[in-house]
């Protein structure tokens, strides 16, 4: 039995990690589309301000201050959503924390705390959502926020990478288990690339400088739009940012080479010339209330991400790519059979743009 996803103006949506970054951008996007939003995070003051802003703009919002790493507090979120709005239709697991540092330097206490939020927060939220949506007419959607680091490694971020691999594994298995039970629940995994949120400044930082996400950087609203899309469309997985997809493709095609490239390039790209913040949000709430970082800019749009929302467009791109690859492989034979005027035209084709070089992929898949 498939989920019957409601129009947004008929939905109630729970968003964890909603006090800043992607979570706050997502809560605003849902509210602007007419959905009632239940905002969840540890910072009660930031949540209260966010709800007041949404309601002042004519939206519907409610907040619950809770730590997603604690199962009992997530159960309280479910109860609050039912008490306030009579239930919910979509649950977005976005809450996440980070650590920058060599894997050998990160303390076990910090490593475990990150997993309590990033992995067990997703588990707690998914289970509470599934228990409610199984019996809700039409079912609903569970949307988990992974990362392109669910599919590849990155130096200086070992615990974070591990947690996102775990989120992917749990999400994919949960989808199968719910299908086996005939539950009317869509399970979606969203995998953002580098996003321009305050995440690096909120992360626990073992480096000697401030941290950042490697370029190119996409705006949090690009992810928010992908999440909102998944709440009303059948989406299994969606990668946000074509540059991230190119990195994953490079790793899958040549992991040994990618290890050396990532090891050389990622550490300097993960630092910025500024003092690192005095505090972090790993064990206690951060200041929150901010969607974007002021340290660097971000791209407001991703052609690749928008194309994924339209399967026919993706199929068209695939067919064009296949035709270009076949033409490249057989270009000499085609030239032999072509007339003089066609030979002249073929000689003008910039074949190198279609040969799948990493530079070409980085340029074309925005």
- Which SS3 state, helix, strand or coil, does residue 359 take? helix
Residue 161 near residue 114, CB atoms below 8 Å: no
* pLDDT at residue 163 greater than cutoff 70: yes
Residue 160 is a catalytic residue:
yes
* pLDDT at residue 69 greater than cutoff 60: yes
For residue 64, what are the β-bridge partners?
Answer: 40
* pLDDT at residue 355 greater than cutoff 80: no
The reported pLDDT for the residue numbered 2 is 87
- Which SS3 state, helix, strand or coil, does residue 64 take? strand
Name all domains of the chain by residue range, CATH numbers in brackets.
Answer: 8-309 (3.40.50.720), 316-364 (no CATH)
Range in 167-176, 216-225, 313-322, 356-365 the model is least confident about = 356-365
Catalytic residue, from 160, 218, 251, 304: name it.
Answer: 160
* pLDDT at residue 296 greater than cutoff 80: yes
pTM, two decimal places: 0.87
The Cα 132–Cα 122 span in angstroms is: 15
- Tell me whether residue 364 is exposed, middle or buried, using C-beta atoms within 10 angstroms of its C-beta: 0 to 12, 13 to 18, 19 or more: middle
* pLDDT at residue 103 greater than cutoff 60: yes
Residue 135 near residue 128, CB atoms below 8 Å: no
Backbone angles phi, psi at 53, to 5 degrees: -65, -45
Q: What is the mean pLDDT of residues 162-171?
A: 98
Angle at 181 between CA 175 and CA 187, to 5 degrees: 20
Angle at 171 between CA 142 and CA 109, to 5 degrees: 110
For residue 65, what are the β-bridge partners?
Answer: 41
Q: How far is the first Cα of the chain from the last one, in angstroms, to the nearest whole number?
A: 36
The tens digit of pLDDT for each residue in 49-67 reads: 999 999 999 999 999 999 9
Which residue, among 157, 166, 229, 162, has the nearest Cα to 194 in the 3D structure? 157
Residue 157 near residue 181, CB atoms below 8 Å: no
Cα Dmax for the chain:
76
Which residue, among 227, 173, 174, has the nearest Cα to 8 in the 3D structure? 227
The reported pLDDT for the residue numbered 3 is 96
Which residue, among 333, 139, 164, has the nearest Cα to 248 in the 3D structure? 164
The reported pLDDT for the residue numbered 332 is 64
The tens digit of pLDDT for each residue in 215-232 reads: 999 999 999 999 999 999
Q: What is the mean pLDDT of residues 33-54?
A: 98
The reported pLDDT for the residue numbered 287 is 87
Residue 237 near residue 144, CB atoms below 8 Å: no
The reported pLDDT for the residue numbered 331 is 61
Which residue, among 186, 96, 101, 102, has the nearest Cα to 146 in the 3D structure? 96
The Cα 319–Cα 291 span in angstroms is: 38
Backbone angles phi, psi at 157, to 5 degrees: -135, 35
CA 265 vs. chain centroid, Å, equals 22
* pLDDT at residue 363 greater than cutoff 60: no
């Amino acid at each position: 039995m498939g989920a019957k996803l409601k129009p947004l103006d008929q939905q109630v949506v729970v968003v964890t990690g909603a006090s800043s970054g992607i979570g706050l951008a997502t809560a605003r996007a849902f509210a602007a589309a007419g959905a009632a939003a239940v905002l969840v995070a540890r910072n009660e003051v930031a949540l209260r301000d966010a709800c007041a802003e949404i309601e002042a703009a004519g939206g519907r919002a409610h907040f619950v201050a809770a730590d997603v790493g604690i199962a009992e507090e997530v159960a309280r979120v479910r109860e609050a959503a039912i008490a306030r709005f009579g239930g919910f239709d979509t649950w977005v697991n976005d809450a996440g924390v980070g650590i920058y540092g060599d894997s050998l330097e990160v303390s076990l206490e910090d490593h475990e705390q990150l997993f309590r939020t990033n992995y067990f927060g997703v588990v707690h939220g998914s289970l509470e959502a599934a228990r409610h949506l199984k019996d809700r007419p039409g079912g609903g959607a569970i949307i988990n926020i992974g990362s392109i680091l669910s599919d590849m490694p990155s130096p200086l971020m070992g615990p974070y990478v591990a947690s996102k691999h775990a989120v992917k594994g749990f999400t994919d298995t949960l989808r199968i288990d719910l299908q086996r039970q005939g539950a009317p629940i869509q399970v979606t995994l969203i995998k953002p690339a580098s996003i321009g949120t305050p995440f690096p400044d909120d992360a626990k930082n073992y480096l000697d400088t401030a941290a950042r996400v490697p370029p190119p950087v996409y705006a949090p609203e690009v992810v928010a739009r992908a999440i909102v899309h998944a709440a009303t469309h059948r989406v299994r997985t969606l990668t946000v940012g074509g540059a991230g997809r190119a990195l994953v493709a490079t790793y899958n095609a040549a992991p040994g080479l990618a290890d050396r490239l990532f090891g050389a390039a990622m550490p300097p790209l993960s630092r910025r010339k500024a003092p690192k913040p005095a505090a972090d949000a790993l064990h206690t709430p951060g200041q929150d209330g901010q969607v974007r970082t002021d340290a660097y800019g971000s791209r407001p749009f991703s052609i690749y991400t928008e194309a994924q929302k339209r399967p026919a467009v993706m199929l068209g791109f695939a067919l064009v790519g296949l035709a270009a690859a076949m033409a490249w492989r057989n270009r000499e034979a085609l030239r032999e059979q072509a007339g003089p005027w066609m030979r002249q035209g073929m000689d003008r084709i910039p074949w190198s743009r279609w040969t799948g070089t990493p530079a070409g992929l980085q340029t074309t898949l925005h």
